[in-house]
Copies of this chain bind each other. A is one copy, B any other.
Amino acid sequence: MRVTVDIVLFTIRERRLHLLLIRRLAEPFAGCFALPGGFVLPDESVDAAAARELREEAGVESVYLEQLYTFGEPGRDPRGRIITVAYYAMVPQTQSLQAGTDAADAAWFPVDALPPLAFDHLAIVQYAHTRIRNKLGYTNVGFELLPAKFTLSELQVVHEAILGEPLDKRNFRRRVQLQGIVKPTKEFQATGRKPAQLFRFKD
């Protein structure tokens, strides 16, 4: 019985939630897009395998990574009995990506406009999207999609992209500030028109 990891790597581009897909070169599903992932090595923890595959296939290092669910139906991979442990991860818009990618063809797709996916990867993606939508309500998820310092408008864009719906600016700002999950810096971002105050996460 073999064990793989598959990672749903999220980011925000042009105010929409995107994820990284890799075009498969080999059968099965050659030419089809799939999640980055691969086999767990004999002396490596499952978490470490996910981090390594992210490094090798997506060229990203030390990102937020969380286990999602294990998919273990016997027929899910035509090559034989392969169980996969799914993860999701997040990178800020700024991080340069796909550098170091050893897969032929990696690309970002909006979560609401995905190409056909190999294996049961569509189910994994939907599971991941549901998870982060739910976690947004009661955790700090979403911060990993931003650089260390960010404006409240940028944070709002992240939340709107994950939820897929617009939020009220005043209510949003009051909530994040009252919950005490961000703290203001003394810096301002002078890009655009009126400079916006920069914040960082607590803890």
Which residues of A does B touch, CB under 8 Å? Answer: 1-3, 40, 42-47, 67, 69-70, 72-74, 81, 83, 85
Contact = CB atoms under 8 A, between A and B. Distances in A.
A42 B2 CA distance: 10
A70 B42 contact: no
24 contacts: A1-B40, A1-B42, A3-B3, A3-B72, A3-B83, A40-B72, A40-B83, A42-B74, A42-B81, A43-B74, A43-B81, A44-B74, A45-B72, A45-B73, A46-B70, A46-B72, A46-B73, A46-B83, A47-B72, A67-B69, A67-B70, A70-B85, A72-B85, A83-B85
Contacts of A83: 3, 40, 46, 85
Contacts of A44: 74
**Stoichiometry (number of copies):** 2
A73 B46 CA distance: 7
Nearest to A69: B67
Contacts of A42: 1, 74, 81
Nearest to A50: B72
A40 B3 CA distance: 12
A45 B83 CA distance: 9
